[in-house]
Amino acid sequence: MRKLRIIRIVLATFFLLAVTACFLDFTGTAAKWFGWTVKIQLMPAALALSLAAVAILVATLLFGRIYCSVVCPLGILQDIAIFLRRKKFPFGRDAFPRVRMVVRLAIAIVFFAGGFLGLHFTWLEPYAIYGRMATGLAAPLVRLGNNHLAAWAERHGSYAFHVVEVVAPPLCLVILSAALLVLILALAVWKGRFWCNTVCPVGTVLGCLSKVSLLKPKIDLAKCVKCGMCERACKAQSIDIGSGTIDRTTCVACFSCGAVCKKGALTWSR
């Protein structure tokens, strides 16, 4: 699975940069080239009744939650925090899986029922959260940086850059976005994909689908020496090496477990 993991990381990096560029680029160039990466974000696609939403659900039924490990910018942002943590996770699966499952289902029911009733809890929707972080926190800084660059270039006789208007976002948006960013990143450093597997309603739906996915991570007990390396590499705490099982509802299809297994005991198969 090492090659699959590398492909995943390359694709995830591309999606994160492309979606972020669409939010931050004020020239419209990024939207022209990479606008499609925004159109295949699950909730916007579902609300637009786009075929992309169906494609994502079918992909989840086939391969598990690859959307969460490749396409969703909020998930990839957490992966960066997890990578920078530079420590393995403790042994053992989540101590309270049932409590977590009840919490996830309750949040998902409130989120989707609210949507039908016209109450849009957009601070729970991953793409909206990421968009607010990008536009509320990073976009004004990018514009300020551009203006400084334009002034500097002009002093040196170049007019390659243009000064653009910097619109200060509402203070409450900045505070809420910053607080949520810190919270999600802190949770990622502490417990990996905790936000994804406890709070995110989109993750809960995809988790239910991936429970019956065609391909899934599997432990070959005949080859496994129970070294626990996969368990400690799993950012979703999905692996219980004691029982040799993997919780497919929380697995985000990152392929890290297979990449660390030196015995070839972890496969992605039917």
| 253: number of Cβ within 10 Å | 25
Q: Which of 171, 199, 168, 169 is nearest to 183 (CA)?
A: 199
Bridge partners (DSSP) of residue 246 are: 239
Convert residues 80-119 into a mask of x (bound to ligand SF4 by CB under 6 A) and - (unbound).
----------------------------------------
What's the CA gap between 176 and 129, in Å, rounded?
10
Of 149-208, binders to ligand SF4 (CB under 6 A) are 196, 200, 202-203
- Minimal distance in Å, beta carbon 140 to ligand SF4? 24
For every residue of 103-168, DSSP letters joined together read HHHHHHHHHHHHHHTT---GGG-HHHHHHHHIIIIIHHHHHHHHHHHHHHHHHTT---S-----PP
Task: Return the range that interacts with ligand SF4 (CB under 6 A); candidates 18-26, 86-94, 154-162, 233-241.
Answer: 233-241
Task: Determine which residue in the list 59, 74, 107, 134 makes contact with ligand SF4, applying CB under 6 A.
Answer: 74
Considering the complex, state which of residue 139 and residue 241 has its C-beta at the smaller distance from ligand SF4.
241
Task: Determine which residue in the list 45, 75, 188, 194 makes contact with ligand SF4, applying CB under 6 A.
Answer: 75
Convert residues 238-257 into a mask of x (bound to ligand SF4 by CB under 6 A) and - (unbound).
xx-x----x----xxxxxxx
Residue 208 token pair? 């239910």
| 22: number of Cβ within 10 Å | 23
Number of chain residues interacting with ligand SF4 (CB under 6 A): 38
Residue 96 token pair? 């309270």
- Residue 68 touches ligand SF4, criterion: CB under 6 A: yes
Residues found near ligand SF4 in the complex (CB under 6 A): 68, 72, 74-75, 126, 196, 200, 202-203, 217, 219, 224-230, 233-236, 238-239, 241, 246, 251-257, 260-261, 263, 265-266
